[in-house]
Amino acid sequence: METLLIFAINALLTGGALWVAGRITVTPIAGNAAVLTALGAALAGLVPGFGWALSFVVLCILLKQFTRAEVWPDLVLLVVVSWGVTVLGSLLLGNLIAGIF
């Protein structure tokens, strides 16, 4: 049950990062589409061995489907910026939690 909860939270946070990145890069993606994309990529990432590669392929395919944007430079920039948003958010959240405790 704990693993399922962590998986769901991860999909929501990654979907939120994709949505924020979509606003920053002017590549619109709906919030529910961003969460579904993150969920699909996370599920594909569970495949042993080559899950990381499959996850990236699923991410690109779902982003292309939901946004109808060009792969280069729009979707590549969207993925890079969402990664940056995730790292920044993790750092801020970590500092916030460290400050509380």
pLDDT at 11: 86
Quote the domain boundaries for residue 93.
2-100
**Number of domains within the chain:** 1
Q: 75: which residues sit within 8 A by CB, 6+ positions away?
A: 27, 60, 63, 64, 67, 69
The two tokens of residue 87 are 């790292």
Please write the tens of the pLDDT for every residue from 4-21.
888 888 888 899 999 999
Q: Alpha helix locations (H) across 1-101?
A: 2-25, 31-44, 51-67, 76-100
Return the pLDDT at 58.
95
* Cα–Cα distance measured from residue 59 to residue 24, given in angstroms and rounded to the nearest whole number: 19
pLDDT, tens digit, 9 for 90 and up, residues 50-100: 999 999 999 999 999 999 999 999 999 999 999 999 999 889 888 888 888
Read off the tokens for 53.
């590669």
CB 61 within 8 A of CB 75: no
Q: Using the Cα atoms of residue 16, residue 17, residue 20 and residue 25 in order, give the sign of their dihedral.
A: negative
Residue 96, pLDDT score = 84
Task: Band the pLDDT of 39: cuts 50, 70, 90.
Answer: very high
Structure tokens at 78: 């969207």
